[in-house]
């Protein structure tokens, strides 16, 4: 069964490097999925969705750069 | 119709560049195996993986077309975002010097050292076959995922993505056969940087479409998303460099 674990690990590794970063993306996708249900102007809803993803990326890289090692 | 062409260019480019990165990584290991243990089993291993991958694409491609478009856009968008943002994050950190750059020459020599320690069978070299099968399957699966992901919108986009990937594969095979060395001069991190930007933009666009967001300018907003991700990534590199320097001063 070790090869099954190896395959699962490889597939997991394609999508998840930093667990918190991946989790925060998924949470934001949940927010993005719900955005059209709010009464926001369409352009604002798109900007909020894309902006949130960009902020998550920026926070993640700057946070990692601040760590030692 | 013009909207389709707005997507077709970035789709082909994303698939071309992503496949270039993956093919170069696979070529490094295949070259190491071929030069250390002989070409027959190395090429058989890679060939077998290509056949398996071809079967997967033949099975999955038409099946994907039967999934409702909204569901497909949500699923593919989410996976592209997880995959693309991970690539982009790593590329930013590598460009800023926080993470080490990927070194194809070092991978090549490490693989040669590993293979030199494994005993060789006389007739059938299972180590050579398995190593090449595994690396081709792994890198090839990433290419298949990217091609299906960026080409998920319709048959024309899937054709554009497939052509882009095929073009880079042919290029790498020709270059590898010509130089017989790892293609370490290819700026792999710069390519990953660009691919990360493109995949993140595609993922954001597809997921938004699937969720019911009305992008301003419709398909043209993809160009805006690419520009925003590129700008943030470049600013991110500068911010990481300065943060790193600040942490170094404090230490």
Q: Coil, helix or strand for B117?
A: coil
Q: Coil, helix or strand for B92?
A: helix
| Residues A46, B90: C-beta atoms closer than 8 Å | no
Nearest to B153 by CA among B219, B86, B83, B224: B219
Q: Coil, helix or strand for B24?
A: helix
Token pair in block for residue B146: 């990217």
Q: Which residues of B touch A67 (CB under 8 A)?
A: 247
Give the closest of B74, B225, B236 to A57, CB-based. Answer: B236
Beta-carbon count within 10 A of B249 CB: 7
Q: What is the pLDDT along chain B (251 residues), one digit of tens a residue?
A: 455 666 778 888 888 998 898 898 899 889 888 888 888 888 999 999 989 988 887 887 777 778 888 888 899 899 989 999 999 999 999 999 888 877 777 888 888 888 777 766 667 778 888 889 988 988 888 888 888 888 776 778 888 888 999 999 899 989 888 877 777 777 888 888 998 999 999 999 999 999 999 999 877 888 899 999 999 999 999 999 998 888 766 65
Q: Let me know the angle formed at the C-alpha of A68 by B87 and A10, rounded to the nearest 5 degrees.
A: 35
Q: Is A54 on the interface with B (CB under 8 A)?
A: yes
**pTM, entire model:** 0.83
What is the least distance, in Å, from the CA of A1 to any CA of chain B? 16
Token pair in block for residue B70: 């909204």
Token pair in block for residue B209: 């479409």
Note whether B172 and B46 are within 8 A (CB): no
ipTM, 2 dp: 0.91
- Give the burial string for B157-167 (b: 16+ CB within 10 Å, else e): bbebbbbbbee
Residue among A65, A67, A69 with most chain B CBs within 10 A, to mutate: A65
């Amino acid at each position: 069964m070790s090869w099954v674990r190896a395959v699962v690990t490889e597939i997991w590794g394609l999508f998840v490097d930093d667990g918190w970063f991946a989790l925060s993306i998924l949470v934001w996708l949940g927010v993005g999925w719900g955005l059209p249900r709010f009464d926001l102007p369409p352009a604002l809803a798109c900007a909020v969705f894309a902006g949130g993803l960009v902020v998550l990326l920026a926070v993640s890289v700057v946070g990692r750069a601040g760590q030692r090692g | 119709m013009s909207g389709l062409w707005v997507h077709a260019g970035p789709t082909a480019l994303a698939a071309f560049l992503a496949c270039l990165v993956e093919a170069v990584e696979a070529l490094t290991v295949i070259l190491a195996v071929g030069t250390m243990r002989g070409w027959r089993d190395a090429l058989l291993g890679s060939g077998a993986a290509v056949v398996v991958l071809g079967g997967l694409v033949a099975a999955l491609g038409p099946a994907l077309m039967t999934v409702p478009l909204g569901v497909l856009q949500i699923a593919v968008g989410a996976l592209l975002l997880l995959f693309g943002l991970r690539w982009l994050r790593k590329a930013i950190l590598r460009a800023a010097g926080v993470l080490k750059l990927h070194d194809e020459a070092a991978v090549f020599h490490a693989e040669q050292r590993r293979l030199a320690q494994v005993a060789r069978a006389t007739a059938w070299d299972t180590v050579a076959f398995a190593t090449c099968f595994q690396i081709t399957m792994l890198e090839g699966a990433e290419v298949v995922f990217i091609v299906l992901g960026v080409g998920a919108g319709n048959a024309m986009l899937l054709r554009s993505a497939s052509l882009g990937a095929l073009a880079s594969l042919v290029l790498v095979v020709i270059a590898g056969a010509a130089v017989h060395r790892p293609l370490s001069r290819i700026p792999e991190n710069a390519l990953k940087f660009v691919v990360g930007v493109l995949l993140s933009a595609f993922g954001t666009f597809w997921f938004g479409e699937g969720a019911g967001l009305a992008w301003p300018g419709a398909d043209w907003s993809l160009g805006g998303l690419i520009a925003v991700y590129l700008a943030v990534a470049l600013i991110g590199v500068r911010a990481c460099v300065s943060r790193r320097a600040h942490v170094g001063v404090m230490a």
